[in-house]
Amino acid sequence: MDIDYVQRIVRSLDPSVPPSYDSSAPAGPPGYTSRRAMTEHQYTLASRGNKPPWATLKLLSRSPNPSQLPTILEGDRLVGAVVLNLDKSDGIVGVSVVAKGQVVPGPDDRDPLTFLELTTTLWSKDRGDPRNPTTPTRKLTGHYEWPFSLEIPASVVLDQGTFRLPQTFVERRFPTSVSYVLVLQITRGRFRVNSRIHTSLHYVPATRPSPPSPLRQLAYRQSTPLIGPEGDPAGWEQLPPFTVRGTAFKTRTVEATCWFSLAKPLCYTRGSQVPCAITLSCTDTQALDLLSAPRAVNVALRRRLRPIPPASRRTGMFDANADLSADPAETVALASWWPPAEGAAAEAASATSHRRLEGEISLPVTLKPSARMAHFAVEYSVEVLPFKAIAFIPEHGSHPPPFVCQPIEIVTMHASGVVPRSYAPPQYSASQEEAVRDNYFNADGLGHVWRT
């Protein structure tokens, strides 16, 4: 099909906007809209008795509930206020607000790596009386309020390079964490005790994929079937073929050639789907039927985490581009498979030595997005693992490597104007996939799920 023709169709679907945008598409991560009202969080230092708090830190965020951690989306400012109610004079010499981002290598590690630190001084003694700056003041008393607004950069420059800020990351099974905090510091004179209020922040990067091919955009907009790798080569990453070897029915040696494809771009929004396709070729049609059964094809989304090595923390040297393929991986989602549509199935049946399956990986909305910076990495790959076919014994050892290991990126926002949809038939049961997700996401012990 002519690509220019397809682009004209895509553009005609909404002539009021450019072809890659759709006014009905969500502007932010799933669960966010630009019209959502901001929530005010308050953190206080109590006074004695039943008096009102003497110090209050106020902060606006995208969290739906003030009892939850403040949620900050990339591009948001930290906006709030500091309120002091001093019923007696207090020798305060400074009031400031500090925002920090840190990688904490372990629960007992007292040497966190600070990659972000923003400070704004709201008041200092040399500025005079807050109510009358031209008048010197020795002590504060009464009511004071200072608004603040801190701009959080999307990326930071470290010795190893420039890195996008990672999402807040805390999982019980993994020692390294990424944390963001906002601290109110109330400083007093020498030999006096300072006061602090602090709260953790849930930071979410605003990352999105580039738009898919025009043919895939058209399929999503019109709710029509996706065109496969043969008809839409620009929309698929066709990976090198691999060979599956083994024994069928305990007696026959089998060798099948497989071609696996992933939808491009290789960047997917959490909560959406990863379209995939596989074609199998074998001269033994009975063995081919075994291997091409939907539950026989074993494709998984796997995650690798990397903490900063202790030696790197001491020396400050760290290879941010190191290959993670040798690191331990865990499965976080499985692909579902089904025979192609009726017309394609009839076409495939005419070639008795070939079988084709369509599939997708449903990405949990709670996935942490990909991150890679000087001290921390979260990486994902789609892997074709040994087949699990009935009456077929694969030829491999106890810990076989995957046939295919394709790195991908997980992001937080949809491509502009494009919202992917699921194509899995209704009869598909996701019980196995849900079991993987339950085992994975219930293990971090956080007590809540951030649906961003």
Average pLDDT over residues 411-438: 73
Confidence (pLDDT) at 71: 96
Answer whether residue 178 shows pLDDT above 70.
Answer: yes
Confidence of residue 254 (pLDDT cuts 50, 70, 90): very high
The residues pairing with 305 across neighbouring beta strands, listed in sequence order, are 378
Confidence (pLDDT) at 7: 41
Of 116-130, 300-314, 380-394, 424-438, which range is least confident?
Answer: 424-438
Answer whether residue 15 shows pLDDT above 80.
Answer: no
Q: Which position has the token pair 């892997």?
A: 383
Average pLDDT score over the chain? 83
Average pLDDT over residues 298-306: 94
Of 1-15, 78-92, 187-201, which range is least confident?
Answer: 1-15
Q: Does this model's pTM top 0.85? A: no
Answer whether residue 106 shows pLDDT above 70.
Answer: yes
Average pLDDT over residues 349-372: 89
Confidence (pLDDT) at 375: 73
Winning range, highest mean pLDDT, from 102-106, 306-310, 344-348:
102-106
Two tokens, residue 387: 């087949």
Domain 31-204 has CATH 2.40.128.20: no
d(CA 296, CA 125): 72
Residue by residue, what is the 3-state secondary structure of the chain?
CCHHHHHHHHHHCCCCCCCCCCCCCCCCCCCCCCCCCCEEEEEEECCCCCCCCCEEEEEEECCCCCCCCCEEECCCEEEEEEEEEEEEEECEEEEEEEEEEEEECCCCCCCCEEEEEEEEEEEEHHHCECCECCCCCCCEEEEEEEEEEEECCCEEEECCEEEECCCCECCCCCCCEEEEEEEEEEEECCCCCCEEEEEEEEEECCCCCCCCCHHHHHHHHHCCCCCCCCCCHHHEEECCCEEEEEEECCCEEEEEEEEEEEECCCEEECCCEEEEEEEEECCCHHHHHHHCCCCCCEEEEEEEEEECCHHHHHHCCCCCCCCCCCCCCEEEEEEEEECCCHHHHHHHHHCCCEEEEEEEEECCCCCCCCEEECCEEEEEEEEEECCCCCCEEECCCCCCCCCEEEEEEEECCCCCCCCCCCCCCCCCCCHHHHHHHHHHHCCCCCCCCCCC
Per-residue pLDDT tens over the stretch 273-287: 999 999 999 999 999
Answer whether residue 20 shows pLDDT above 90.
Answer: no
The residues pairing with 144 across neighbouring beta strands, listed in sequence order, are 84
Q: Which position has the token pair 């091919």?
A: 213
Confidence of residue 132 (pLDDT cuts 50, 70, 90): confident
d(CA 19, CA 7): 8
Per-residue pLDDT tens over the stretch 21-60: 233 334 444 444 445 689 999 999 998 777 889 999 999 9
Confidence of residue 437 (pLDDT cuts 50, 70, 90): very low
Per-residue pLDDT tens over the stretch 318-356: 554 555 555 688 999 999 999 987 655 555 555 678 999
Percent of the chain whose pLDDT exceeds 90: 60
d(CA 394, CA 32): 46
Average pLDDT over residues 174-193: 91
Domain 214-441 has CATH 2.60.120.10: no
Confidence (pLDDT) at 137: 75
Confidence (pLDDT) at 369: 97
Confidence of residue 428 (pLDDT cuts 50, 70, 90): low
Question: Do the two domains 31-204 and 214-441 of this chain adopt the same fold?
Answer: yes
Confidence (pLDDT) at 440: 40
Confidence (pLDDT) at 328: 80
Can you give the length of the chain in residues? 452
Q: Where are the domains of the chain?
A: 31-204, 214-441
Confidence (pLDDT) at 18: 35
Per-residue pLDDT tens over the stretch 200-233: 999 999 999 999 999 999 999 999 999 999 999 9
Answer whether residue 199 shows pLDDT above 90.
Answer: yes
Confidence (pLDDT) at 280: 96
Answer whether residue 6 shows pLDDT above 50.
Answer: no
Answer whether residue 310 shows pLDDT above 60.
Answer: no
Answer whether residue 261 shows pLDDT above 90.
Answer: yes
